[in-house]
Copies of this chain bind each other. A is one copy, B any other.
Amino acid sequence: MNYTFSSFTDGLKSSAVRDILKLTQGNAVISLAGGLPAEEHFPIEAVKEAFERVFQHGGKSSLQYGLTEGYTPLREAICHRMAKKGASVKPENMLITTGSQQAIYLLTRIYMSAGDVVLVENPTYLAALQIFQASGVRVVGVEADQDGMLLDDLEAKLNLHRPKMVYVTPTFANPTGKVWSLERRKGLLALCKPNNVLILEDDPYGEIQFDEKAEYPSIFSLDDHPEGSAVMYTSTFSKTVVPALRTGWIIGDSRVIAQMAKAKQAVDLHSSTLDQQALHQLLTHFDLDAHIRTIRNEYRVRMELMKSLLQDPRFSDLHWNEPQGGMFFWVELPESIDANQLLKKAVEKGVAFVPGMDFYAENPRRNTLRLNFTHTDNANMKLGLDRLAEALDVYKQNV
Protein backbone atom coordinates (compact mmCIF):
# COMPACT_ATOMS: atom_id res chain seq x y z
CA MET A 1 0.00 0.00 0.00
CA ASN A 2 1.37 3.39 -1.03
CA TYR A 3 0.13 6.31 1.01
CA THR A 4 0.03 9.70 -0.69
CA PHE A 5 -0.77 12.71 1.44
CA SER A 6 -2.49 16.02 0.76
CA SER A 7 -0.62 19.30 0.48
CA PHE A 8 -1.70 20.12 4.05
CA THR A 9 1.06 17.81 5.29
CA ASP A 10 3.74 19.67 3.28
CA GLY A 11 3.42 22.68 5.56
CA LEU A 12 3.36 20.65 8.74
CA LYS A 13 6.68 20.52 10.39
CA SER A 14 6.47 18.88 13.76
CA SER A 15 6.95 21.73 16.18
CA ALA A 16 10.47 22.03 17.56
CA VAL A 17 9.01 22.73 20.99
CA ARG A 18 7.02 19.51 21.01
CA ASP A 19 9.89 17.44 19.65
CA ILE A 20 12.19 18.75 22.37
CA LEU A 21 9.51 18.15 24.99
CA LYS A 22 9.43 14.51 23.91
CA LEU A 23 13.22 14.31 24.01
CA THR A 24 13.42 15.65 27.53
CA GLN A 25 10.45 13.86 29.04
CA GLY A 26 11.33 11.75 32.01
CA ASN A 27 15.10 12.23 31.97
CA ALA A 28 17.61 14.49 33.60
CA VAL A 29 17.44 17.38 31.13
CA ILE A 30 16.15 20.60 32.70
CA SER A 31 13.68 21.98 30.22
CA LEU A 32 13.35 25.72 29.83
CA ALA A 33 11.72 24.95 26.49
CA GLY A 34 7.99 24.29 26.87
CA GLY A 35 5.41 26.94 27.60
CA LEU A 36 4.25 25.01 30.64
CA PRO A 37 2.62 26.56 33.68
CA ALA A 38 3.90 25.60 37.14
CA GLU A 39 2.27 22.40 38.35
CA GLU A 40 2.84 23.32 42.01
CA HIS A 41 0.27 26.07 41.59
CA PHE A 42 -2.44 24.06 39.87
CA PRO A 43 -5.70 24.48 41.84
CA ILE A 44 -6.21 20.71 42.00
CA GLU A 45 -8.64 20.84 44.94
CA ALA A 46 -10.84 23.34 43.12
CA VAL A 47 -10.77 21.24 39.93
CA LYS A 48 -11.56 18.09 41.91
CA GLU A 49 -14.47 19.77 43.69
CA ALA A 50 -15.74 21.17 40.40
CA PHE A 51 -15.99 17.67 38.94
CA GLU A 52 -17.67 16.40 42.12
CA ARG A 53 -20.26 19.17 41.78
CA VAL A 54 -20.91 18.23 38.14
CA PHE A 55 -21.55 14.60 39.05
CA GLN A 56 -23.62 15.55 42.08
CA HIS A 57 -25.81 18.23 40.54
CA GLY A 58 -25.70 17.43 36.82
CA GLY A 59 -26.30 13.71 37.24
CA LYS A 60 -26.37 11.43 34.23
CA SER A 61 -27.53 14.13 31.83
CA SER A 62 -24.16 15.84 32.39
CA LEU A 63 -22.62 12.92 30.48
CA GLN A 64 -24.71 13.27 27.30
CA TYR A 65 -23.77 14.95 23.99
CA GLY A 66 -23.74 18.76 24.15
CA LEU A 67 -23.97 21.80 21.91
CA THR A 68 -21.23 22.49 19.36
CA GLU A 69 -21.13 26.14 20.47
CA GLY A 70 -20.27 25.08 24.01
CA TYR A 71 -21.98 24.62 27.38
CA THR A 72 -24.23 27.67 27.68
CA PRO A 73 -23.66 28.41 31.42
CA LEU A 74 -19.90 28.36 30.79
CA ARG A 75 -20.27 30.77 27.88
CA GLU A 76 -22.35 33.04 30.13
CA ALA A 77 -19.71 32.91 32.85
CA ILE A 78 -16.97 33.83 30.37
CA CYS A 79 -19.13 36.70 29.05
CA HIS A 80 -19.26 37.96 32.61
CA ARG A 81 -15.47 37.79 32.92
CA MET A 82 -14.95 39.47 29.55
CA ALA A 83 -17.33 42.30 30.49
CA LYS A 84 -15.04 43.16 33.40
CA LYS A 85 -12.30 43.66 30.82
CA GLY A 86 -14.34 46.03 28.70
CA ALA A 87 -15.59 43.46 26.19
CA SER A 88 -19.40 43.14 26.13
CA VAL A 89 -20.46 39.95 24.41
CA LYS A 90 -23.34 37.49 24.50
CA PRO A 91 -23.14 33.71 24.31
CA GLU A 92 -23.93 33.87 20.57
CA ASN A 93 -20.71 35.84 20.11
CA MET A 94 -18.66 33.02 21.62
CA LEU A 95 -17.48 29.57 20.61
CA ILE A 96 -15.88 27.21 23.14
CA THR A 97 -12.84 25.51 21.61
CA THR A 98 -10.32 22.81 22.47
CA GLY A 99 -7.75 25.35 23.62
CA SER A 100 -7.17 28.63 21.79
CA GLN A 101 -5.13 26.61 19.30
CA GLN A 102 -8.39 25.28 17.87
CA ALA A 103 -9.83 28.79 17.67
CA ILE A 104 -6.89 29.87 15.49
CA TYR A 105 -7.30 26.77 13.35
CA LEU A 106 -11.06 27.10 12.87
CA LEU A 107 -10.94 30.80 12.04
CA THR A 108 -8.21 30.13 9.50
CA ARG A 109 -10.24 27.26 8.03
CA ILE A 110 -13.37 29.32 7.47
CA TYR A 111 -11.76 32.65 6.63
CA MET A 112 -8.58 32.00 4.69
CA SER A 113 -8.13 30.26 1.36
CA ALA A 114 -4.87 29.04 -0.13
CA GLY A 115 -3.01 32.03 -1.52
CA ASP A 116 -4.61 34.55 0.85
CA VAL A 117 -2.17 36.63 2.88
CA VAL A 118 -1.90 36.97 6.65
CA LEU A 119 0.33 39.60 8.25
CA VAL A 120 2.10 38.62 11.46
CA GLU A 121 4.63 39.91 13.94
CA ASN A 122 8.01 38.45 13.10
CA PRO A 123 8.82 36.36 15.15
CA THR A 124 5.45 35.08 16.34
CA TYR A 125 3.70 32.02 17.84
CA LEU A 126 5.03 29.05 15.87
CA ALA A 127 1.90 26.90 16.03
CA ALA A 128 -0.08 29.72 14.40
CA LEU A 129 2.55 29.84 11.65
CA GLN A 130 2.13 26.08 11.23
CA ILE A 131 -1.61 26.45 10.67
CA PHE A 132 -1.15 29.24 8.14
CA GLN A 133 1.63 27.51 6.25
CA ALA A 134 -0.11 24.10 6.14
CA SER A 135 -3.26 25.82 4.86
CA GLY A 136 -1.36 27.36 1.97
CA VAL A 137 -1.84 30.85 3.40
CA ARG A 138 0.98 33.26 2.55
CA VAL A 139 2.56 34.67 5.71
CA VAL A 140 4.20 38.10 5.64
CA GLY A 141 6.05 39.55 8.62
CA VAL A 142 5.64 43.19 9.65
CA GLU A 143 8.53 45.10 11.18
CA ALA A 144 8.19 45.87 14.88
CA ASP A 145 9.89 47.41 17.87
CA GLN A 146 9.24 46.90 21.60
CA ASP A 147 5.86 48.69 21.33
CA GLY A 148 4.42 46.47 18.59
CA MET A 149 4.18 46.54 14.83
CA LEU A 150 5.56 49.66 13.13
CA LEU A 151 2.49 51.35 11.69
CA ASP A 152 4.33 52.66 8.63
CA ASP A 153 5.48 49.20 7.65
CA LEU A 154 2.03 47.79 8.46
CA GLU A 155 0.37 50.34 6.18
CA ALA A 156 2.83 49.66 3.38
CA LYS A 157 2.24 45.92 3.65
CA LEU A 158 -1.53 46.31 3.81
CA ASN A 159 -1.30 48.19 0.51
CA LEU A 160 1.23 45.88 -1.06
CA HIS A 161 -0.12 42.46 -0.06
CA ARG A 162 -3.87 43.11 0.44
CA PRO A 163 -4.02 40.63 3.34
CA LYS A 164 -7.32 39.17 4.58
CA MET A 165 -6.10 38.91 8.16
CA VAL A 166 -3.55 40.17 10.67
CA TYR A 167 -2.55 37.80 13.49
CA VAL A 168 -1.22 39.40 16.67
CA THR A 169 -0.49 38.53 20.31
CA PRO A 170 -0.34 42.08 21.65
CA THR A 171 0.01 41.27 25.36
CA PHE A 172 3.10 39.31 26.49
CA ALA A 173 3.72 37.80 23.09
CA ASN A 174 5.09 34.33 22.56
CA PRO A 175 8.07 34.24 22.02
CA THR A 176 9.13 37.86 22.56
CA GLY A 177 7.25 38.75 25.75
CA LYS A 178 6.42 42.09 24.12
CA VAL A 179 3.47 44.34 25.07
CA TRP A 180 1.95 46.61 22.46
CA SER A 181 1.41 50.24 23.42
CA LEU A 182 -2.13 51.63 23.41
CA GLU A 183 -1.22 53.81 20.45
CA ARG A 184 -0.13 50.83 18.36
CA ARG A 185 -3.26 48.87 19.29
CA LYS A 186 -5.42 51.76 18.14
CA GLY A 187 -3.26 52.26 15.08
CA LEU A 188 -3.60 48.64 13.99
CA LEU A 189 -7.37 48.90 14.31
CA ALA A 190 -7.54 52.19 12.45
CA LEU A 191 -5.55 50.78 9.55
CA CYS A 192 -7.28 47.38 9.32
CA LYS A 193 -10.96 48.11 9.79
CA PRO A 194 -11.50 50.47 6.83
CA ASN A 195 -9.71 47.94 4.62
CA ASN A 196 -11.88 45.02 5.82
CA VAL A 197 -8.82 43.27 7.20
CA LEU A 198 -9.75 40.95 10.07
CA ILE A 199 -7.57 41.07 13.18
CA LEU A 200 -7.08 37.81 15.08
CA GLU A 201 -6.08 38.83 18.60
CA ASP A 202 -4.54 35.88 20.42
CA ASP A 203 -4.37 36.48 24.16
CA PRO A 204 -3.36 33.35 26.07
CA TYR A 205 -1.06 35.21 28.47
CA GLY A 206 -2.89 38.52 29.03
CA GLU A 207 -3.87 37.70 32.61
CA ILE A 208 -0.31 36.85 33.64
CA GLN A 209 0.73 40.46 34.24
CA PHE A 210 3.38 41.39 36.81
CA ASP A 211 2.23 44.94 37.44
CA GLU A 212 -1.16 44.55 39.15
CA LYS A 213 -2.13 48.10 38.29
CA ALA A 214 -1.18 48.15 34.63
CA GLU A 215 -4.00 48.00 32.08
CA TYR A 216 -3.66 46.37 28.72
CA PRO A 217 -6.98 46.85 26.93
CA SER A 218 -7.62 44.23 24.30
CA ILE A 219 -7.83 45.45 20.72
CA PHE A 220 -11.27 43.82 20.67
CA SER A 221 -12.42 46.10 23.51
CA LEU A 222 -11.09 49.15 21.66
CA ASP A 223 -13.23 48.41 18.60
CA ASP A 224 -17.01 48.78 18.35
CA HIS A 225 -18.15 45.31 19.29
CA PRO A 226 -19.24 42.63 19.08
CA GLU A 227 -21.29 42.90 15.86
CA GLY A 228 -19.31 44.29 12.95
CA SER A 229 -16.05 44.19 14.88
CA ALA A 230 -12.82 43.91 12.94
CA VAL A 231 -11.38 41.80 15.76
CA MET A 232 -11.82 38.17 16.73
CA TYR A 233 -10.37 37.64 20.22
CA THR A 234 -9.27 34.27 21.59
CA SER A 235 -8.06 33.19 25.00
CA THR A 236 -7.84 30.07 27.14
CA PHE A 237 -7.98 28.71 30.69
CA SER A 238 -4.84 26.65 30.06
CA LYS A 239 -2.57 29.18 31.75
CA THR A 240 -4.92 30.42 34.49
CA VAL A 241 -6.65 27.19 35.55
CA VAL A 242 -5.02 24.06 34.10
CA PRO A 243 -4.00 22.92 30.60
CA ALA A 244 -5.49 19.40 30.88
CA LEU A 245 -9.05 20.70 30.48
CA ARG A 246 -8.11 22.07 27.03
CA THR A 247 -10.73 24.78 27.16
CA GLY A 248 -10.42 28.01 25.23
CA TRP A 249 -12.86 30.42 23.63
CA ILE A 250 -13.13 32.91 20.80
CA ILE A 251 -15.43 35.95 20.66
CA GLY A 252 -16.51 38.26 17.88
CA ASP A 253 -19.22 38.98 15.36
CA SER A 254 -21.98 36.38 15.66
CA ARG A 255 -21.92 35.64 11.90
CA VAL A 256 -18.26 34.69 12.06
CA ILE A 257 -18.89 32.64 15.22
CA ALA A 258 -21.77 30.84 13.47
CA GLN A 259 -19.51 29.84 10.57
CA MET A 260 -16.86 28.67 13.02
CA ALA A 261 -19.45 26.59 14.88
CA LYS A 262 -20.51 24.90 11.65
CA ALA A 263 -16.87 24.13 10.92
CA LYS A 264 -16.38 22.79 14.45
CA GLN A 265 -19.40 20.54 13.98
CA ALA A 266 -17.54 18.89 11.08
CA VAL A 267 -14.16 18.94 12.82
CA ASP A 268 -15.08 17.34 16.17
CA LEU A 269 -18.81 17.94 16.91
CA HIS A 270 -17.98 19.57 20.24
CA SER A 271 -15.30 19.74 22.93
CA SER A 272 -15.56 17.73 26.14
CA THR A 273 -18.77 18.80 27.88
CA LEU A 274 -17.64 17.28 31.16
CA ASP A 275 -14.60 19.58 31.23
CA GLN A 276 -16.79 22.55 30.27
CA GLN A 277 -19.25 21.84 33.06
CA ALA A 278 -16.41 21.44 35.55
CA LEU A 279 -14.95 24.79 34.48
CA HIS A 280 -18.34 26.39 34.94
CA GLN A 281 -18.55 24.98 38.47
CA LEU A 282 -15.02 26.17 39.15
CA LEU A 283 -15.78 29.69 37.95
CA THR A 284 -18.89 29.72 40.17
CA HIS A 285 -17.37 28.40 43.41
CA PHE A 286 -13.66 29.26 43.24
CA ASP A 287 -12.05 32.69 43.41
CA LEU A 288 -10.19 32.45 40.12
CA ASP A 289 -9.10 36.09 40.27
CA ALA A 290 -7.41 35.54 43.63
CA HIS A 291 -5.74 32.45 42.16
CA ILE A 292 -4.56 34.46 39.17
CA ARG A 293 -3.05 37.04 41.55
CA THR A 294 -1.12 34.23 43.24
CA ILE A 295 0.18 32.96 39.92
CA ARG A 296 1.14 36.46 38.80
CA ASN A 297 3.15 36.93 41.94
CA GLU A 298 4.84 33.55 41.77
CA TYR A 299 5.72 33.94 38.09
CA ARG A 300 7.03 37.44 38.71
CA VAL A 301 9.36 36.03 41.37
CA ARG A 302 10.57 33.36 38.95
CA MET A 303 11.05 35.93 36.21
CA GLU A 304 13.10 38.06 38.62
CA LEU A 305 15.27 35.07 39.42
CA MET A 306 15.89 34.29 35.77
CA LYS A 307 16.62 37.97 35.16
CA SER A 308 19.21 38.02 37.92
CA LEU A 309 20.78 34.83 36.56
CA LEU A 310 20.90 36.29 33.05
CA GLN A 311 22.69 39.34 34.51
CA ASP A 312 25.63 37.08 35.38
CA PRO A 313 28.85 38.16 33.61
CA ARG A 314 28.94 34.82 31.77
CA PHE A 315 25.90 36.04 29.79
CA SER A 316 27.17 39.56 29.19
CA ASP A 317 27.04 39.20 25.42
CA LEU A 318 23.36 38.20 25.44
CA HIS A 319 20.54 40.70 24.81
CA TRP A 320 17.06 40.49 26.26
CA ASN A 321 14.27 42.66 27.64
CA GLU A 322 12.59 42.17 30.98
CA PRO A 323 9.10 40.77 30.32
CA GLN A 324 6.15 42.55 31.97
CA GLY A 325 4.15 39.33 32.05
CA GLY A 326 3.66 36.00 30.34
CA MET A 327 6.09 33.12 30.45
CA PHE A 328 9.18 33.85 28.38
CA PHE A 329 12.50 35.59 27.99
CA TRP A 330 13.43 36.16 24.37
CA VAL A 331 17.22 36.11 24.10
CA GLU A 332 19.51 37.34 21.38
CA LEU A 333 22.88 35.62 21.21
CA PRO A 334 25.96 37.05 19.50
CA GLU A 335 25.48 36.96 15.71
CA SER A 336 28.01 34.15 15.35
CA ILE A 337 26.05 31.67 17.45
CA ASP A 338 23.49 29.35 15.88
CA ALA A 339 20.89 28.50 18.53
CA ASN A 340 20.02 25.18 16.86
CA GLN A 341 23.65 24.09 17.16
CA LEU A 342 23.84 25.46 20.67
CA LEU A 343 20.78 23.38 21.65
CA LYS A 344 22.66 20.15 20.91
CA LYS A 345 25.46 21.17 23.26
CA ALA A 346 22.94 22.36 25.82
CA VAL A 347 21.06 19.04 25.83
CA GLU A 348 24.40 17.27 26.31
CA LYS A 349 24.95 19.49 29.33
CA GLY A 350 21.42 18.79 30.55
CA VAL A 351 19.34 21.85 29.68
CA ALA A 352 16.89 22.58 26.87
CA PHE A 353 15.42 25.76 25.34
CA VAL A 354 13.64 26.56 22.08
CA PRO A 355 15.79 27.92 19.27
CA GLY A 356 14.19 31.06 17.87
CA MET A 357 14.30 30.14 14.20
CA ASP A 358 10.92 28.39 14.00
CA PHE A 359 9.12 31.45 15.32
CA TYR A 360 9.98 33.47 12.24
CA ALA A 361 7.60 33.79 9.31
CA GLU A 362 10.53 34.97 7.20
CA ASN A 363 14.17 36.06 7.56
CA PRO A 364 14.81 33.82 10.56
CA ARG A 365 17.48 34.96 12.95
CA ARG A 366 19.42 31.89 14.00
CA ASN A 367 21.04 33.62 16.98
CA THR A 368 17.84 33.78 19.03
CA LEU A 369 16.25 31.54 21.62
CA ARG A 370 13.31 31.40 24.01
CA LEU A 371 13.57 30.58 27.71
CA ASN A 372 10.55 29.68 29.82
CA PHE A 373 10.67 30.87 33.42
CA THR A 374 7.32 29.60 34.76
CA HIS A 375 7.78 25.84 34.92
CA THR A 376 11.12 25.38 36.66
CA ASP A 377 11.74 25.73 40.38
CA ASN A 378 14.50 27.94 41.75
CA ALA A 379 17.14 25.24 42.18
CA ASN A 380 16.63 23.86 38.69
CA MET A 381 16.52 27.29 37.14
CA LYS A 382 19.92 28.08 38.66
CA LEU A 383 21.31 24.73 37.57
CA GLY A 384 19.74 25.13 34.12
CA LEU A 385 21.30 28.53 33.54
CA ASP A 386 24.67 27.22 34.77
CA ARG A 387 24.44 24.47 32.21
CA LEU A 388 23.47 26.96 29.52
CA ALA A 389 26.58 28.99 30.39
CA GLU A 390 28.68 25.83 30.10
CA ALA A 391 27.12 24.98 26.74
CA LEU A 392 27.90 28.48 25.49
CA ASP A 393 31.50 28.06 26.65
CA VAL A 394 31.86 24.75 24.82
CA TYR A 395 30.25 26.25 21.73
CA LYS A 396 32.62 29.23 21.68
CA GLN A 397 35.68 27.05 22.26
CA ASN A 398 34.77 24.79 19.35
CA VAL A 399 34.24 27.58 16.82
Contacts and interface: CB of A to CB of B under 8 A. Distances in A.
Nearest to A255: B3
A12 B259 CA distance: 8
Interface in A254-278: 255-256, 259, 262-263, 265-275, 277
A94 B359 CA distance: 29
A354 to B, nearest CB: 14
A101 to B, nearest CB: 5
Nearest to A196: B2
A contact residues, range? 35 or more
A130 B246 contact: no
A150 interface: no
A13 B259 CA distance: 10
A105 interface: yes
A109 B8 contact: yes
A294 interface: no
A198 B5 CA distance: 11
A-B pairs with lowest CB-CB distance, top 9: A63-B242, A98-B268, A102-B268, A244-B274, A12-B262, A63-B244, A65-B243, A244-B273, A39-B60
5 contacts: A12-B262, A12-B265, A101-B266, A131-B266, A243-B273
Contact of A64 (B99, B243, B273): B243
A24 interface: no
A97 B63 contact: no
B230 A246 contact: no
A229 to B, nearest CB: 7
Nearest to A7: B113
Interface string A240-256: 00111110000001011
Interface string A382-396: 000000000000000
A55 B63 contact: no
Contacts of A12: 259, 262-263, 265-266
Interface stretch (A42-50, A79-87, A306-314, A328-336): A42-50
A146 interface: no
A267 B267 contact: yes
A243 B268 CA distance: 12
Interface in A20-36: 22, 34, 36
Among A8, A47, A111, A259, max chain B CB count under 10 A is at A8
B55 A48 contact: yes
B63 A42 contact: yes
Contacts of A34: 65
A164 interface: yes
A358 to B, nearest CB: 13
Residue among A55, A63, A97 with the highest chain B CB neighbour number at 10 A: A63
Contacts of A255: 3
A144 interface: no
A15 B264 CA distance: 12
